Structure 1
Amino acid sequence: MGTHVTINLFLTGTELILSKGAMNPVSKLVLIDGNSIAYRAFFALPLLSNSSGVYTNAVYGFTTMLLKILEEEKPTHLLVAFDAGKTTFRHKDYQEYKGKREKTPVELSEQLPLIKEVLDAFGIRHFEMENYEADDIIGTLANLAEKQQVETLIISGDKDLLQLVRDHVHVLIPRKGLSDTVRYDKKAVDDRYGLTPEQIIDLKGLMGDPSDNIPGIPGVGEKTALKLLHQFSSVEEIIAHIDQISGKKLQEKVREHQEQALLSKKLATIYCDVPLEMNIDDLIYTGYHLEKVLEIFKRLEFKSLLERFAKDSDEAAVIDVKEVKYMMATEDNLEQLAPFFQLERLAVFVEATAENPHRAEAIAFALSNGEESVYIPVSLALHWPEFQEWLADPNRSKVVYDSKKSKILLENMGLDIHGMQFDVLLAAYLLDPSETQLELSDVTDKYLGHILPSDEEVYGKGAKRQILEGEALAQHLARKAQAIYQLCPVLQQEIESAGLRSLLHELEMPLALILAEMEQRGVKVDQDRLHELGEELKKTLDQLTEEIYDIAGTEFNLNSPKQLGEILFDKLGLPVLKKTKTGYSTSADVLEKLAPQHEIVEKILHYRQVGKLYSTYIEGLKKEIGADGKIHTQFHQTITATGRLSSAEPNLQNIPIRLEEGRRIRQIFVPSEEGWYMLAADYSQIELRVLAHLSEDAALQKAFQEDQDIHTQTAMDVFGVSKEEVTPLMRRQAKAVNFGIVYGISDFGLAQNLNIPRKEAKTFIDRYFATYPGVKRYMDEAVEKARRDGYVTTLFNRRRYLPDIHSSNYNVRSFAERTAMNTPIQGTAADIIKFAMLHLDKEMKEKELKSRLLLQVHDELVFEVPEDELDLMKQLVPEIMEGTISLSVPLKVDIHYGKNWYETK
């Protein structure tokens, strides 16, 4: 059943409080300038994206401001207005109107459709109209509201809208970021400018507005414009009294540009008679659909908002499930169940107390032939030889959900499992890698219909989660096993039709077993060195603290944003870039912009980095060490849309290596045997090599075939200079664009990375494509293939579907196009290292080597190796990794070894 929540709605702290009741008459109208607030949100927050690579910072910022408005303003009527396009009626008067605006960053424009989806989920009306701007729509409605004496609040980052302020119409403008706002009524406008709201258009007429390319009178700024208006009241009055203007130079400027001033005033005037087919009563805000809000927050991965809103999802879903036939295994009926193990194929499912198999205990098993199921408590399974023999028999076909987790759980109990012929989780992931958080109930919903309730529906979630017992548990697990069995033939057929059989059976399923071994093996931690590093980081923190106090001239709480803000902005006088509700913003992006202006800022940034290292990787890793002195991370195969592996609990792929203190964290990871070595093998620039192969670009291929430094070579080609003339800056720019191209970087993204103007970044990208035309051709062809087929593939036929490639919305479509370009590159690189892991595992076992594979970190494999195998492994590992696939350019592997992981670099 859907939950529809109606106003009144308000937020207290972090809790969402809802009142379900009748709708109110018009008591407050809120009009939001959608483009303006989205723009502010985009630049107020760092560039964020979800696990699918969709940018979300503008959506998140917009949503949080929306919630603030609902909380504080409690509107009964609400509209968000957007600009419909680039051309409006103003262009007839002045073709250059808004002509000098930089193109909206793709990273922002892609998010506008998502913002509208959020508004739809919240039940908030949004509107745009060809030939008019959002300001005009807002002005028309505000004018109507004033006539009806309706209390109205306009929210925009554009001060042009101050001209709309009236007795009943106020304007709220964010000053810095999104939370620090100023409310303007008539008095506030007068206090700020000494003008009436109606005179704001005269102010714009005189001083112009560079952001809208409104010319005004050259040389007349705000101060001069206000002085003139305080004397003559309007542009027309000023023109009528030119001879009375003090200062001959200013007189001449006004006389020469009087027509331009009148035009500028006209351009700045918000049109309040847009022919809208709506009135204020049509803008009633009746509340939101909770399920829709939760669905979009889940898709965008807004975890904090999900937690806040999920508290109100208190209506249980109605589950329409079929009855399942099952028997509970007991000491008394084991002989009766024996024939079950003679069946050609069975589904087997093992339930555990937690998701992480290294921290969980198995509870019970369920077997199914698709029609009948058997429930087996763990206590019985551990003493039932026939069941254990069936599990361990490689000739007995088993269908499972998550073979890696199943293997780990069973082996932790001392049980073997072989003969896992089909993995429903891996099959479902290959068929649609965009579904990266799959539960068995999700897969069942998609392919069989809603016949299986989710664990959350059965067990509850969070602190309320409680595993059932007895008949209730038996029935749920029997239903799971039945679903797994029934899914097998359906997914098998889909896998065959999609040409994914080889990828499933020859890569992902064998790899799952290798990953299980790696996880169980774990990585040994030198706990003494971990303690020493912690002490060293503490000393660094103490030293940095003293240096910061010395520069500041006083002691203060470095971890208090309020006290830090007072030091930086009040005492040291640094420019205020952003404010928050509680004072000055001292966020990382603010400090990075201030760093060149004062030495204290660089030290504060360093202090924060070291502090994070200490809390996350010293204190954090201490908690992850098992009784065996090792850390057992989890490698996830089904999280990323490109096929890359990810690591969690803890994430050993994410240990920072840019900072020396971060690199030294790797010193704590050591071989588990005395006298052994750590050996690391890293693919060199594998994604660029894959790009050279896919694009067939002769210049790019030649650079790799001749073993050139690709970034230096790119700098030489793009800048047209010799090797000796390549500066460090040139190489850094070439490196940024080389790797950026792989990820579909835009001119905005490159400009941010290199801290250069967008125009310069665009020129650099254009030069790159002119130098490497094969790369441009490949990207165009990749997009065309995606349009034709609806998906793109890696060299190993891994698919990624792109349903948005045909979207009529330019921004949605452009994201899909970039994904079409970079997925084959990233996905092929991911497949190559996975196959390399399989080949290495096979070779090491055939040669009966004692060496062990411990970790996969992006393009790097980490082993522990006995001294007598070191020379062999130094030869064997790169030989197999470089020979995994034959490309038009050679694969190159860098290999290093040492007594700990740090020494392998």
Structure 2
Amino acid sequence: MTTKKIVLLDGNSLAYRAFFALPLLTNDNGIHTNAVYGFTMMLQNILADEKPTHILVAWDAGKTTFRHSTYGEYKGGRQKTPPELSEQFPYLRKLLEAYQIPQYELDQYEADDIIGTLSKTGDADQAEVVVISGDKDLTQLASGHTTVYITRKGMTDIEKYTPDHVREKYGIEPHQIIDMKGLMGDASDNIPGVPGVGEKTALKLLKEYGSVENVYKSIDAITAKKLKENLTDNEEQAYMSKVLATIEVNAPIKVTIDDLSYEGPDLDKVISIYQELKFKTLLEKIAPQAAEEPQEEIELTIASTLSEADLTDEMAIHLEMIEEHYLTADILGISVADDSHTLFIPLPVALDSDVFKNWLKNPAKKKYSSDSKATMVSLAQRGLEADGFEFDFLLASYIVNPSSTFTDVASIAREFGYGDVQSDEVIYGKGAKKSVPVEAIVAETASRKAQAVWKLRPLIEEKLKENNLYDLYHELELPLAKILSKMESTGVKTDLKTLEAIGVDLTAKLLELEAAIYESAGDKFNINSPKQLGVILFEKIGLTPIKKTKTGYSTAADVLEKLENEHEIISLILTYRQLGKLNSTYIEGLSKEIHDDGKIHTRFQQALTTTGRLSSINPNLQNIPVRLEEGRKIRAAFVPSEPGWYLFAADYSQIELRVLAHMSQDAKMIEAFRAGVDIHTQTAMDVFGVDKESVTSDMRRAAKAVNFGIVYGISDYGLSQNLNITRKEAAKFIDTYLNSFPGVKQYMVDIVADAKQTGYVTTLMNRRRYLPDITSSNFNLRGFAERTAMNTPIQGSAADIIKKAMIDMAARLEVEGLQTRMLLQVHDELIFEAPEDEIEKLKVIVPEVMESAIALDVPLKVDWAFGLSWYETK
């Protein structure tokens, strides 16, 4: 006989949780969908994890319940349901119908009472019952057969209440939760309780007397004068509060456990509602074909030879590759399209055609690419030169909306209302037409993407012009793509022997540290095991635990850093971890990324970050650690690719603070930069109220933390963690800083106000970042959006400036006729390789070009260095 598994869900509570956990989302019809989407994700996890045999979602029937006859102000303090959530309840019910999950509500009763009554029945039948809600009132239902899951933060953080957990957390039995609420009240439900009695006092009384009733039977034994007075004056209110907090377990419901039997969803109905709500990601998981819009027939020709008539003066071009890593991926074919025809060119035909090669490299032939950088790099790998790119589908769509996470043609096309492109999963994966020849599938897929680029270009370019983004796109990002393609194709020479030697040295240091850790602990254990490490630190050595996880003591870096002064072993462990990561991630990782030409060819992601910064992958060369000397030494492996050449590095000094000075127009900050004063010293002087000679290294360090913290929207909590001070001290520090730089303070106020008015912020070059949560009623979402409003214009402007410098620098190198090559961009730094006889020239022109990339009210400053490795340029 199969044991019943009954899952009872508090519909209203979970809907609210989902609504506030996700930003507002709307479908094409303007209907808000975030609560439905979040609820769906929770529901899928519940069904997968719990595998219920019986299930029910209980709803509140209305605002008035039988409890209001006891206390008219019950739940009186609750805010009105946001209209953006109210409009989603019908869709939530429709979703549950599609999943064939029973729903129930009862006039004059709450969802809690329905759940309480059914859990009692299931408990009596010795079935396994799981109650899921965000309301801790339901913890009173925990029993030997009933576990109550309470959602805490977001949608996945759940605390499970069994009788043992209730005892461990509160020191009382589950049935005493109602006594606790009777004494302390519950502000969320407007249950008054006894004034002056909080949770701590309520629990103390219950541990001594057991119940509200027994508290009053023993009132004379209570010696605390004020407590006794409050209890005596509010006796009736305490009893009433207990009644209000008590879940009814004998509600007159018309549904039985047998009615809750669950057989699974009606997939057709689920697909239908996913389509209606435009849940494309969810659709693709359960029915890839259903996620796609109906497609029109496509006319295309598969070329066996090419004539000049096939390739016109303006065409869209798309390379269909087997994977996204275009530096190494095989090209399956090339499609070109315009209004008159669509042509698929197999790679061997392209490689063998002078007509195609000449058209490809001719800058007068305008090419509208799905991804110009990937196209140029991939073709360059096969000896084909490409030029004349006038449109980049990926870049243009990214600039229109940098918050979009879509990077494939099909998804981007759908974003702009063009549904005639299927996802690669449908074409090549699940649901693929196995009877169709592979070349025909590839040809159709590639050609639909080329057509999408051709047809959507006018629409996207119009959006760019409407939003004053066209110059950013056409004058900055599109030319930069060409420069980055050359950098990726060039690569940077990496000395494997140097990497291996650093690895040997690191391994020796790790062995020394391991021995020192064992000696300090007085025992051998697996240092990489958090569980074993926790036992050593908090049980054997006896350090005070700061945080616990589900599996034991937390030994995360932030926890250990707070204990660093408690015992010598902590510093050893932190260093061990850092060196271990260096060895595995960078020594071993970088060694695997060296190509046959002895170089690492990183990929620069130009259409990823919301601030406009470039990022680097396969491998990430922007993230090599520099705090530890051992990390800095890794840069010694990056060397010039030619004998007699050097690496030359130039980086902007404090560019973000200079941008802040310009944007905030803070007189004191502007003057400091114009006078060449060290800004961190100046800040320390202002914040600590001392003269220059009295500024200590600790003062400057603190000033530097708050300077850069302001740029990144730091909070008092974040600064307190950075400086190891209290939040109160950090808050005072920030206030003093803002009072010292009133222009910065006003900038922060004004930029948030502007963002609330327009819904977005801009950089100095008009790059936009939309902030849909800037007016959210959710404090956390709104707070994050406000901090983003403050820092994005600064970070984004700094990113735009170095991009402009790269374009100007490439042009200057060409004008000067130099052999120097630009290799890498790492945040605010540019790295070149150059023959020795060009170094003196670079010392002049690199700072000159970079410092004149944009005119600010403060000077830009560039520091440079050169050497036989990247390490030597520091």
Return 318-327 or 573-582, whichever deviates more.
Answer: 573-582
> 1:760 corresponds to which letter in structure 2?
E
The letter of the residue matching 1:238 is S
1:233 shift after superposition: 7.3
**Which of 710, 718, 738 is residue 749 of structure 1 equivalent to?**
718
Q: Which residue of structure 1 aligns with residue 601 of structure 2?
A: 632
Structure 1 residues 628-637 or 315-324, which shifts more?
Answer: 315-324
Preserved CA contact (<8 Å) 1:235 1:261: no
CA contact (8 A) 2:361 2:385 kept: yes
After superposition, the Cα gap between the structure-2 partners of 1:340 and 1:723, relative to the gap in structure 1 and judged at 3 Å, is same
Distance 1:325 1:220 in 2: 75
* 1:859 to partner: Cα distance: 0.8
* Number of residue pairs aligned between Structure 1 and Structure 2: 811
CA distance in 1, matches of 2:207, 2:440: 84
Contact 2:421-2:448 within 8 A present in 1 as well? yes
Structure 1 residues 365-376: aligned runs within 5 Å: 365-376=334-345
Q: Secondary structure at the match of 2:647?
A: strand
- Residue number in structure 2 paired with 1:617: 586
The answer to whether the 8 A contact 2:180-2:203 is kept is no
- The offset of 1:755, in angstroms, is 4.1
Counterpart Cα distance in 2 of 1:780 and 1:828:
19
Number of the residue aligned with 2:245: 272
- Structure 2 distance, partners of 1:121, 1:263, is 40
Would you say 1:678 and 2:647 are equivalent positions? yes
Kindly state the Cα deviation for residue 419 of structure 1 after the two structures are TM-superposed. Answer: 1.7
- Match of 2:597, SS state, is coil
Equivalent in the alignment of 1:340: 310
SS at the partner of 2:384?
coil
CA distance 1:121–1:251, shift in 2 (3 Å): closer
Instruction: Give 5+ residue unaligned stretches, structure 2.
Output: 22-33, 78-83, 98-108
1:793 aligned partner: 762
Residues of 2 paired with 1:196 and 1:861: CA distance? 65
**1:271 counterpart SS class:** helix
Equivalence for 1:696: 665
Report the Cα offset of residue 632 of structure 1.
0.2
> In structure 1, which of residues 528, 538, 561 is the aligned counterpart of residue 497 of structure 2?
528
Match of 2:100?
A: none
1:903 positional shift: 2.0
Instruction: Give the Cα separation in 2 of the matches to 1:704 and 1:268.
Output: 64
User: Measured at CA, do residues 599 and 366 of structure 1 come closer, stay the same or move farther in structure 2, by a change above 3 Å?
Assistant: same
Contact 2:761 2:770 in 1 (8 A): yes
1 CA distance for matches of 2:296 and 2:418?
A: 11
Secondary structure at 2:218 match in 1:
helix
Do the aligned partners of 1:346 and 1:485 also contact (CA within 8 Å) in 2?
A: yes
Question: Which shifted more, 188-197 or 770-779?
Answer: 188-197
- Report if the CA contact (8 A) 1:215-1:264 is conserved: no
Describe the SS at the equivalent of 2:327: helix
What is the match of residue 477 of structure 1? 446
Cα shift readout 1:242-261 (whole Å, capped 9, x = no counterpart): 3xx7xxxx576865775589
How far 1:279 moved relative to its partner? 7.8
TM-score (normalised: structure 2): 0.79
Q: SS in structure 2 opposite 1:517?
A: helix
Q: Which residue of 2 aligns with 1:235?
A: 215
C-alpha distance in 2 between matches for 1:482 and 1:808: 42
Residue 304 (structure 2) aligns with: 330
Once the two structures are TM-superposed, the CA of residue 422 in structure 1 deviates from its matched residue by 1.9
1:550, distance to aligned residue in structure 2 (A): 0.7
Distance apart, 1:646 and its partner CA:
0.9
2:101 aligned partner: none
Partner letter of residue 575 of structure 2?
Answer: H
What secondary structure does 1:682 align onto? strand
Residue by residue over 1:695-716, the C-alpha shift from the partner in whole angstroms, topping out at 9 and shown as x without a partner, is 1111221222222222232232
Provide closer, same or farther for how the CA distance between residues 139 and 594 of structure 1 changes in structure 2, counting only shifts above 3 A: farther
Q: How does 1:55-204 map to 2 (within 5 A)?
A: 67=45, 71-72=49-50, 74=52, 76-78=55-57, 153=130, 171=148, 183-185=161-163, 197=174, 199=176
| 1:440 and 2:409 aligned | yes
Counterpart in 1 of 2:295?
321
| CA spacing shift, 1:859–1:554, aligned 2, 3 Å | same
Greater shift after overlay, 727-736 or 173-182? 173-182
1:147–1:782 CA distance, 2 compared to 1 (3 A)? same
Question: Alpha-carbon deviation of 1:401?
Answer: 1.6
Instruction: Report the Cα distance in structure 2 between the residues aligned to 1:176 and 1:814, rounded to whole angstroms.
Output: 16
Equivalent residues in 2 for 1:496-515 (5 A)?
Answer: 496-515=465-484
Identify which range, 807-816 or 405-414, moves more after superposition.
807-816
1:516 matched to 2:490? no
Contact 2:288 2:425 in 1 (8 A): no
Distance 2:199 2:781 in 1: 42
Match of 2:825 among 853, 856, 860: 856
Q: Is the CA contact (8 Å cut-off) linking 2:320 and 2:332 kept in structure 1?
A: yes
Q: In structure 2, what is the equivalent of residue 605 of structure 1?
A: 574
> Match of 2:520, as an amino acid?
I
1:769 is the counterpart of 2:769: no
State the partner residue of 2:544.
575
After the TM superposition, which residues 623-662 of structure 1 pair with which residues of structure 2 at under 5 Å, given as runs? 623-662=592-631
Query: In 1, Cα distance between the equivalents of 2:432 and 2:605?
Result: 24
**Using the alignment, how far apart are the partners of 1:605 and 1:121 within structure 2?**
51
Partner of 2:790: 821
Query: Which residue in 2 is equivalent to 1:350?
Result: 319
Cα displacement string for residues 609-646 of structure 1 (whole angstroms, at most 9, x for unaligned residues): 21111111011111100111110000111011121111
Q: Distance in 2 between matches of 1:207 and 1:860?
A: 59
**Kept in 1: contact 2:13–2:135 (CA 8 A):** no
CA distance in 1, matches of 2:841, 2:485: 25
Is the partner of 1:841 in helix, strand or coil?
helix
Higher relative contact order (CA 8 A, sep 6+): 1
On the 8 A contact 1:854/1:864 being kept in 2, the answer is yes
- SS of equivalent residue, structure 2 residue 416: helix
Q: Do residues 719 (structure 1) and 688 (structure 2) align?
A: yes
1:510: Cα distance to partner? Answer: 1.3
AA matched with 1:891? L
- Aligned partners of 1:655, 1:684: CA distance in 2, in Å? 19
Deviations 1:11-35 (A, max 9, x none): xxxxxxxxxxxxx9x9442559979
* Distance (whole Å) between structure 1 residues aligned to residue 774 and residue 235 of structure 2: 46
Separation (CA, whole Å) in 2 of partners of 1:354 and 1:802: 33
Name stretches of at least 5 consecutive residues in structure 1 with no aligned partner.
1-7, 11-23, 43-55, 99-111, 126-135, 300-305
- Three-state SS of the structure 2 residue aligned to 1:656 is coil
Deviation at 1:524, TM superposition (A): 0.8
For 2:823, the aligned partner's letter is L
Q: CA deviation at 1:829?
A: 0.8
Q: More displaced, 679-688 or 833-842?
A: 679-688
For 1:323, the aligned partner's letter is E
**Aligned residue type for 1:237:** K
1:822-874 superposed Cα distances (whole Å, 9 cap, x missing partner):
22211111110001011111111111112221110111111123222222212
- Does the CA-based 8 Å contact 1:684-1:891 persist in structure 2? yes
Q: Is the 8 A contact 2:636 2:872 kept in 1?
A: yes
Deviation of 1:753 (Å): 3.5
Inter-partner Cα distance in structure 2 for 1:796 and 1:482 = 31
SS at match of 1:744: coil
For 2:296, the aligned partner's letter is: K
Contact preservation (8 Å) 1:77, 1:280? no
- The residue that corresponds to 1:29 in the other structure is 8
Provide the C-alpha distance between the structure 1 equivalents of 2:686 and 2:434, rounded to a whole number of angstroms: 60
* Cα separation, partners in 2 of 1:194 and 1:671, compared to 1, 3 Å: closer
CA contact 1:372–1:482 (8 Å) conserved in 2: no
Distance in 2, Cα, partners of 1:466 & 1:898? 59
Q: Give the conservation status (yes or no) of the 8 Å contact 1:686–1:829.
A: yes
Q: Distance in 2 between matches of 1:475 and 1:816?
A: 42
CA distance in 2, matches of 1:547, 1:595: 16
Over the residues paired in the alignment, what is the CA RMSD in angstroms?
Answer: 5.0
Shift of 1:297: 14
1:902 aligned onto 2:852: no
- Deviation of 1:666 after TM superposition, in Å, equals 1.2
2:25 aligns to what? Answer: none
SS of residue in 2 equivalent to 1:861: strand
Q: Counterpart of 1:677 in 2: which secondary structure?
A: strand
Paired with 1:710 and 1:260, the residues of 2 have a C-alpha distance of 62
Q: Matched residues in 2 for 1:449 and 1:528: separation? A: 52
Counterparts of 1:783 and 1:176, CA distance in 2: 26
